[in-house]
């Protein structure tokens, strides 16, 4: 089974509206007819202007988070209905920074995934272990429990729309990339877990990305691994040239 690679840029809290326009005016003319799926996830305030620029291109738009409710008294939150109207295609759910700084739990991650799917938004679901967990030797059990809890009450048809991203927390923004073999080991275990929970046909269809200090210099090696289907990129997605280099790793 060959899964189309997906390169997603998570800008986090970077790039103003002006910088977003500048980025897209530089990146989009080059990013035509590439053989990978590309997603850009700017901050909420730049989604409208990005959507206008992306119209008619192959590059998809993603948000970095959402609430699970459609509307209501949730000051500072953004709903799936709002994202869909922009229109966003994808939404990142359960990024480790959301889990660490904004008290997201496996339970809220599961609620958000279900809500995103109901609203026809494609979830990019992040899982990952801390350095302490890796050193304690509990990486696999931790990640498998994050995957199991994320997928609670999700059908196999729904699962096919979900993208997973394995991001070891110790590799995010630190310049320390997991070795390709280490990333492959965890990602193939995630695929096996999905096969156990559903079936191997479904597990073979699900795209699982790696994230954590991915750069033009290391993406090829990561992408050579059998189960790594793409990258969720932070820092190196902020500049059009490096993001373009990542999106053309296979040329």
Ligand X SMILES: O=C[C@H](O)COP(=O)(O)O
Catalytic site includes residue 95:
yes
62 labelled ligand-binding = no
Catalytic site includes residue 67:
no
Q: Which helix (H) or strand (E) holds 25?
A: helix 17-27
- The 3-state secondary structure of 144-167, one letter per residue: HHHHHHHCCCCCHHHHCCCEEEEC
- CB nearer to ligand X: pick between 30 and 176: 176
- CB nearer to ligand X: pick between 170 and 198: 170
> Which is the catalytic residue, given 97, 104, 129, 167?
167
Residue 242 CB, nearest approach to ligand X (Å): 10
The residues that touch ligand X, with contacts defined as CB under 6 A, are 10, 95, 167, 172-173, 211-214, 232-236
Q: Give the Å distances, CA to CA, from 114 to 68, 80, 118, 123, 142.
A: 8, 11, 6, 9, 21
Of 214, 194, 186, 179, the C-alpha closest to 129 is 186
234 labelled ligand-binding = yes
Q: Which helix (H) or strand (E) holds 52?
A: helix 47-54
Rounded-to-integer distance, Cα 60 and Cα 90, Å: 8
218 labelled ligand-binding = no
212 labelled ligand-binding = no
- CB nearer to ligand X: pick between 29 and 173: 173
> Which is the catalytic residue, given 95, 97, 129, 225?
95
Residue 85 CB, nearest approach to ligand X (Å): 24
Residue 234 CB, nearest approach to ligand X (Å): 2
Residue 80 CB, nearest approach to ligand X (Å): 20
Rounded-to-integer distance, Cα 146 and Cα 117, Å: 18
Task: Return the active site residues.
Answer: 95, 167
Q: Which residues are annotated as a binding site for substrate?
A: 10-12, 173, 213, 234-235
């Amino acid at each position: 089974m060959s899964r189309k690679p997906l390169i997603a840029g998570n800008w986090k809290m970077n790039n103003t509206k002006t910088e977003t326009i500048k980025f897209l005016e530089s990146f989009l003319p080059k990013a035509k007819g590439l053989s990978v799926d590309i997603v850009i996830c700017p901050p909420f305030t730049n989604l409208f202007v990005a959507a206008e620029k992306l119209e008619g291109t192959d590059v998809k738009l993603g948000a970095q988070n959402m609430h699970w409710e459609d509307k209501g008294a949730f000051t500072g939150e953004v709903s799936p209905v709002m994202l869909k109207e922009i229109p966003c295609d994808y939404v990142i759910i359960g990024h480790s920074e959301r889990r660490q700084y904004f008290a997201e739990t496996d339970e809220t991650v599961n609620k958000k995934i279900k809500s995103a799917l109901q609203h026809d938004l494609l979830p990019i679901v992040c899982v990952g272990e801390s350095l302490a967990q890796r050193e304690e030797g509990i990486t696999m059990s931790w990640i498998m429990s994050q995957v199991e809890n994320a997928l609670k009450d999700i059908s196999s048809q729904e699962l096919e729309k979900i993208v997973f991203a394995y991001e070891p927390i110790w590799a995010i923004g630190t310049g320390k990339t997991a070795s390709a073999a280490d990333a492959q080991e965890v990602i193939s275990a995630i695929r096996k877990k999905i096969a156990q929970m559903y079936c191997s046909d479904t597990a073979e269809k699900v795209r699982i990305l790696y994230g954590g200090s991915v750069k033009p210099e290391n993406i090829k090696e990561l992408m050579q691994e059998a189960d790594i289907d793409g990258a969720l990129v932070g820092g190196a997605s902020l500049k059009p040239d490096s993001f373009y280099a990542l999106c053309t790793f296979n040329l």
